[in-house]
Structure 1
Amino acid sequence: MANPWTGEVALTVDGERRVLKLTLGALAELEARLEADSLMDLVGRFETGRFSARDVIAVLVAGLRGGGHEGVDLAGAEIAGGPMEAARVAGQLIVRAFTLPEAGA
C-alpha cells in the first residue's frame, strides 16, 4: 500500500501494482534528465500544465527507481488508466515530494 506520509504513490504497470516515490537522488536525476533550471521549474511545468509526455515518463521512471523498481520500461508498458492516470500519478509524486499531508487526511 502506498503511504502518502512518505511521499509514495501507487501505479499499476503491466498488471503489477507498484509503489513509486521521489527520493532526493531521484529528484536530482530527474532535474538533470529534463534539463530543468531548478526543481521549482519542474514543479512549475506541472502546476501550469506545460508538461510533456517526456516529462511524465521521466517523473514516473524516477519514482519507480525511488520506490526500488529498477529497469521498468515504460515505453511499451500498459499503464492502468492510460496516459491520464500516468500524468495524474506523475503530478501526485511531485506534490507529495514537496508537501506534507494534513493531519487526519
Structure 2
Amino acid sequence: MTNIHRGEIAAEIGGEVRVLCLTLGALAELEARLQAGDLAGLAERFADGKVSARDLTAILGAGLRGGGNAVTDDDLARMSVEGGLRGAAEIAARLLRATFGEAA
C-alpha cells in the first residue's frame, strides 16, 4: 500500500506492482546521475516535460530503489513496463508530481 503523503506511488514494472518513492537518497542519486546540481535544477530539468530514455531510466530506477526494490538500472532496462514507453513516461510523471507537486 502506498502513502502519497510520503511521495509514494505504485506502478506495474517487470510484471509486478511495485512501490516507487523519490526519497532524499534517491533524489541525491538523481542529482548526481543527471548532473542537475541541486533540487531546483532537477525540478527545472523535468518541468517542460521533455525527458530522454536515460532520464526515464534514472527516474524510475531511483524511485524503485527509494521504494525498497533491489533493482539496478540494468535490471530495469530489461523489464517490461505496463504501457511501454508511454507508460514509463506516465509513471515518471506521476512520481515527479508526487515528489515535487503538480508543477513538476
Q: Give the TM-score of the pair, scaled to structure 1.
A: 0.85
For residues 89 and 40 of structure 1, the distance between their equivalents in structure 2, rounded to whole angstroms, comes to: 21
For residues 86 and 94 of structure 2, the distance between their equivalents in structure 1, rounded to whole angstroms, comes to: 12
For 2:32, the aligned partner's letter is: A
Which stretch of the first structure deviates more once superposed, 24-33 or 43-52? 43-52
After superposition, where does 1:10-89 map in structure 2 within 5 Å? Answer: 10-72=10-72, 73-89=75-91
Aligned to 2:94: 92
Unaligned stretches of 5+ in structure 1?
Answer: 101-105
Higher Cα Rg, which structure: 1
Which structure shows the higher helix fraction?
2
The alpha carbon displacement at 1:64 in A equals: 0.5
Unaligned stretches of 5+ in structure 2?
Answer: none
Q: Give the TM-score of the pair, scaled to structure 2.
A: 0.85
Which stretch of the first structure deviates more once superposed, 90-99 or 75-84? 90-99
For residues 11 and 22 of structure 1, the distance between their equivalents in structure 2, rounded to whole angstroms, comes to: 14
**Alignment RMSD, CA only?**
1.6
The alpha carbon displacement at 1:71 in A equals: 2.3
The alpha carbon displacement at 1:37 in A equals: 2.4
For 1:21, the aligned partner's letter is: C
Count of paired positions: 100
Which stretch of the first structure deviates more once superposed, 37-46 or 21-30? 37-46
Percent identity (aligned)? 52
